[in-house]
Chain A
Amino acid sequence: MSLPGRRLHVLAARVCSEKTMKQLIDPVLADLQVEHASAIGMRGRWLALLSGYVAFVKVMLWCGARGTREAWRDWTADDQRALNRTLLCVAGATVFATSLFGLPDLFHLPDMLSINAHARLERLLLYLVPSAVALGLPAGVAIGAALGATKRAQSRRVITAMCFVALLLSIASFVNIAWVVPHAHQSFRVELVGRFP
C-alpha cells in the first residue's frame, strides 16, 4: 500500500516551485505520513489523515495567493489596465442591474408598510437586497464583461482571469440563492407582519 500524500506530492510538484516544495509542501506531507504511521486505531488514522489534508489545503491556498500576487506583478501594464477596466465595468453593471431589479419592490414598500407601521424601513430594504443581487449579478457580469471587452482585443491572460472571476461570482451567486435569499425572505416577512405564535 502506498503512503498517504504521495499523489498529492506529485500533484503539488507540477504546480509549485522547487523552493515552495522544499519549504512548505514536503514538510506538511511528511508530517501527514508520520502522524498517520504513529496513529493508533482506525479512528486515529482517519483523524491524522483529515488534519494532514486540512493543513495541506491551507498551505496550497497560501501558495495560490502568493502565486497570484507574483503573477500580477509579471503582467504588462496594458493587461492590468484591461482587467481593471473590465472588473470596474462588471461592478458598475452589477450595481446598476441590482438597483434596476430592486426598484419594483421599492415602489411596493409604502403599501407594505401600511400593514405594520412599526416595521423598520432600513431593515426591509436590507432584506430585499439578496433577491435583487440574485437577478442583478448574472446580468451585471455579462453586460460588464461585454462592455470591458469593447475597446480592444483581450489577451489570453485577461480572458483567463475573467473566467476565474466569473467562476467565483457563480459560486457566490449559488451561495446567495441557496442560503442567503431564503433567510432574507423569511426575515422580511417576520419584520413586516411579526412572528406568529
Chain B
Amino acid sequence: MARRPPQPPRLSAVESLILDLLIANDDGMYGLQLVAASRRRLKRGTIYVTLGRMEEKGFITSRQEAAPAEAGGLPRRLYEPTALGRRVLAAWTAAAQHFSPRFAQ
C-alpha cells in the first residue's frame, strides 16, 4: 500500500494574523496587546485558545513575565514566534500569493 506523504503544517487566517503581529514586534507581545493591535479581528475570549493551539503546534513559544504589575496579581504570558512559525508563515504567504487569482494573471 502506498504511504501517504507527510502533511504540511496548516495555518488558519487567525494564526497567520497572530504570527504576522508577533513577527512585526520583536520583543514579544501579551494577549491583550495582540487583541488591541489586530483592530478587533482577534477576540479576547478566544485568543488564548488559539495561542495555546499554536504553542502545541510549535509556531510560537511563551513565557511568564518576571513579576506581576500588582502585588498578588497573576503573572501575564509573553508570546514570541518560533523559527518554525516564521518559516510556516513565509511559506503560506508565498503559497497564497502564488495561487491567488490576482497574481496568476
Contact = CB atoms under 8 A, between A and B. Distances in A.
A2 B72 CA distance: 8
B48 A30 contact: no
Interface stretch (A51-59, A136-144, A147-155): A51-59
Contacts, number: 67
Interface string A6-24: 1001000000000000011
B68 interface: yes
Contacts of A2: 72
B27 interface: no
Interface in B38-57: 43-46, 48-49, 51-52, 55
B31 A31 contact: yes
B9 interface: no
A33 B32 contact: no
Summarize A's interface: helix, strand, loop or mixed: helix
B74 A33 contact: yes
Given A27-B31, A59-B45, A34 B72 contact: no
A26 B74 contact: yes
B48 A27 contact: yes
A55 B45 contact: yes
A37 B32 CA distance: 14
Nearest to A31: B32
B72 A55 contact: no
Given A3-B70, A29-B74, A23 B46 contact: no
A82 to B, nearest CB: 32
B76 A34 contact: yes
Nearest to A5: B74
A174 interface: no
Contacts of B66: none
A37 B70 contact: yes
A54 B45 contact: yes
A50 to B, nearest CB: 11
Contact of A24 (B48, B74, B75): B48
Contacts of A28: 31, 44, 48
Given A9-B74, A23-B52, A34 B45 contact: no
Contacts of A51: 44
Nearest to B79: A27
B45 A33 contact: no
B104 interface: no
Interface of B: 30-32, 43-46, 48-49, 51-52, 55, 68-70, 72-77
Interface of A: 2-3, 5-6, 9, 23-24, 26-31, 33-35, 37, 51-52, 54-55, 57-59, 62
Given A31-B31, A52-B44, 10 more contacts: A9-B74, A24-B48, A27-B31, A28-B31, A28-B44, A30-B76, A31-B32, A31-B76, A33-B70, A62-B46
